[in-house]
Structure 1
Amino acid sequence: MRPSPAHQPGPSATTPFQHRRARENSAFLAALAETGNARLAARRLRVHRSTYTKRRAKDRAFAAAWQQALAAFHRAPAESLPAPAFSRAPLRTSGGEPYIVRLKSGRLQLRRALPGQMTQAAQAHFLAHVGGTANLRLAAAQAGFAHTSFHRRRRRCPAFARAVEDNLDVACERLRSAIHQSFDLLAGPQIGESEEEWLDRVEDCPLPPMTVEEAMTLLRHHRR
């Protein structure tokens, strides 16, 4: 028995699969607009980046939305980013605080911290400054530790190492965007642009106009 026409889906009806894909694409585009980095956006969703690059190759609308998300990221001034909310928790242990470690056998063990050790608040402080400066040494100094202390932490804790790389990726994307803006300003006012309008753009740019050599020097001082 054939189903009645009322039960047959119309040509524009969407399937549950299409609804799910639309939600996935929307979540990815939101993460992309926030980070400016496709790999990091996909990692946040715990999906491999190739999943979305394949969709972009087959879907023109998704490809256009991808470019719009990147453009939105690069248009956002650094001042528009929310300031990191630092807790008032101490950055160093006073001694005797309990913490849990996992032994090589896989078992958990409760220990007492020695005085002057790095706290979770110090790690959060460091990550926030990495995301704002893309400079590991400066971020370590702001957290009150030598940069070698955080290098050791990265080697011992894969989750912390991933968090450092994620924050570096976002900060470096914003730094590159600011450098591109400064290149445009170096040429002076554009055709049809008054000097006053050009000066307004100079004031809005996070970085002053710079040459290629100056930009390369700036980049070398980051990701250290």
Structure 2
Amino acid sequence: TSLVVLVCCYFFPPNIFWFMLFIGTVFASSWGPVGLMSVWSKRITRDAAFWGMISGFFMNVIPAAIDYLGIIEMPEYYPAVIGTVVSIAVILVVSARGKVSREEKIYRMRLHRPPVCDIDRAKTIKTLLAPLGLMVYGMAIPFLLLKYYVVPYQIGSGEILADGSVNWNTPEALISLSAFVLHVPLALLAMKVIWGRYNPETRRNREILRRARL
């Protein structure tokens, strides 16, 4: 996949940004719902995960191709939204018609059980540096994108406002805020989950440590 992306970027250099945006949204709509629900949902089945990825992929690529060919014009984010919604719907329908196997239940249960060696305050604090860095990234990138991408792009395309300020009615301006909207909430969620799962002071982890000493 990486080689295909590199080759395409070589042949379509003016469209690298939109091409990478397309690849990212295809990945998100096809794998994103499955990845999240496989961890947090008790009802998703193996078949539902498979068909969720397939449907999410094609229901993103097909609308994007229709838009690219000029058959129907739609906002850039429509294919990603359509693919994600269809993927979630397919997962729910297929899961409702199937049954989670005993092996899948056990695997998910073990997935949520932290190893004894990782229930450590120092390790937990060290791990929290990763989502903290993600939060800093999410807050810094919008400013960098605005300064080094959006403003120069709008000046070149003539879309910048007469007073020199950013025209927020353009997709590139709104996309510059996506890093903050996505990464900061996810970082906060990750910090909450990490602290709750690996902090040795929680009642659940104290019980795990007590049993490990027996």
After TM superposition, the score normalised by the length of structure 1 is 0.31
In proportion to residue count, which structure has more strand? 1
After TM superposition, the score normalised by the length of structure 2 is 0.32
Structure with larger RCO (C-alpha < 8 A, sep 6+): 2
Which is higher, the Rg of structure 1 or of structure 2?
1
